[in-house]
Amino acid sequence: MEVKSQQYPELARKILRQTPQVREAVTRAALHFDHNRQTAYAEIDAAFWRQWAEAVKNHVLTHLDHYLELAEQRLAARGVRVHWAETAEDARRVLRELVRAHGVKRAVKAKSMLSEELGVNPALEALGVEVFETDLGEYIIQLAGEPPSHIVGPAIHRNLEEIRRLFHERLGTPLDAEPDALAREARRVLREAFLSAEMGVSGANFLVAETGTIALIENEGNIRLTTSLPKVHVALVGIEKLLPSLADLAVFLQLTARAATGQRIGTFVSLIQGPRTEAEPDGPEEVHVVLVDNGRSALLADPEAWEVLRCVRCGACLNACPVYRQTGGHAYGWVYSGPIGAVLDPGLLGLEATLPLPFASSLCGACFEVCPVRIPIPKLLVTWRQRAVAAGLASRPEAGAVRAYAEVMTRPELYRLFSKALRVFPGALEHPVLPVVRAWRAGRSGLKPSPKSFRELWEEGAV
């Protein structure tokens, strides 16, 4: 997927101007998810669960070499073929070799953000493979030729009328078709794909090291079919997705579902431990696990930014973010959007390629309050901002304005002088000349300074 993060301001303005319905659709869906999360968190000691999950993920990440080797051993013992991919191209090479070895013409795919990061669909299509996204939301945006807008709800930016028109144009359904009819048509197409595909591609919510178990959470049953009907199953797994034990998995399954959609647990949970045996009638003949680095090792070595690797891709921070809700995910210009994207993307792609994402936040802290693994997103946003300023990558007018503001606010005489000047010339606030203030003023009414300062009112005894 092409990286367009540097275009964030232009993309955000374009979405707000040309597709204003996106704000309404995303806000409605995100707030619904967030309300459900609040209800689900209230049923448990959420603070304790989150602290426990943070500790488990920290333990795994600080002993990652041990758990990766253990997972490889357990997977191999169960007949799974393990591949290591240092880069996205390495992962695509593994897929190409498997496609050619098995003569794959059709592939069904389960929802996977890592597959978006690796560019799996274009790579398969370049080999002549017909790829079907099988999650309904993913299938909708595949028909539309779009990337996901949300980690959990990839099509939340589209309303019912848009989906009706899309299905009418691509699948011939009536323009007034009800949602159930649209879902039936999607199932009809995908059912035939499930039965004819030679390869199933999935991600992994978790990989349990002690047992070599791939864990997948879903609500539609499509992942179960993707990983069991085709003869070959390929699971793309980021190296940060490991958990030590099945006991840990039991809690993470519940915590992730609660954070993502407010469910106590996903409707379907698949635990895959290898290809089918001779005694089993169902399941793939081959299971391949591709352990993907693609910048994660370098990020893990970063003494400040590594904590973002605790992310379980639940999307809770997106739902809580007032900035994300204005535009949805496409404005962020890459796979991972919202608050988590603003700190993960610089770690994986580099700060220069992803500015100004760390600045696309109000630093309200809502993202940290909902994160099931307590990633300190506001702190990491400030870290990336400080690095941008230190590297001379931040906006020069904005940096100059902040320096001037700091000078005024830390010198009482200057502060009093400017306060008086603003009361004498209030038009300076009505028609600001500094670019950073002009952007802040857009859509807001003008500021009107008080006739007297707080200090003057205090000395007069008025306050």
Among candidates 181, 147, 150, which has minimal Cα distance to 163?
181
Beta bridge pairs of residue 233: 200, 287
Q: Which residue type sits at 88?
A: A
3-state secondary structure 251-283: HHHHHHHHHHHCCCCCCEEEEECCCCCCCCCCC
Please tell me whether the overall predicted TM-score, pTM, comes out greater than 0.85 for this model.
yes
Euclidean distance between CA atoms 184 and 311, whole angstroms:
34
Domain ranges of the chain: 1-43+315-394, 59-297, 406-460
Euclidean distance between CA atoms 280 and 287, whole angstroms:
15
Euclidean distance between CA atoms 149 and 135, whole angstroms:
14
Specify the pLDDT at position 1.
Answer: 80
Specify the pLDDT at position 170.
Answer: 97
Locus of tokens 């303005």 = 13
Structure tokens belonging to residue 279: 């005694």
Instruction: Name every residue whose Cβ is closer than 8 Å to that of residue 415 and which is 6 or more positions away in sequence.
Output: 408, 409
Segment-wise mean pLDDT, segments of 10 residues, the chain, 463 residues: 94 96 96 98 98 98 98 98 98 98 98 97 98 98 97 96 97 96 97 98 98 97 97 98 98 98 97 94 96 98 98 98 97 98 98 96 96 98 96 81 85 86 72 60 71 85 84
3-state secondary structure 342-396: HHHHHHHHCHHHHCCHHHCCCCCCHHHHHCCCCCCHHHHHHHHHHHHHHCCCCCH
CB 339 within 8 A of CB 315: no
Structure tokens belonging to residue 128: 């002549």
At residue 238, the 3 state secondary structure works out as strand
Q: Around Cβ 298, how many Cβ atoms within 10 Å? A: 14
Specify the pLDDT at position 437.
Answer: 64
Specify the pLDDT at position 422.
Answer: 79
What is the CATH code of the structural domain delimited by 59-297?
A: 3.40.50.10420
Sequential DSSP letters for 213-235: EEEEEESSSHHHHHHHSSSEEEE
Beta bridge pairs of residue 106: 130
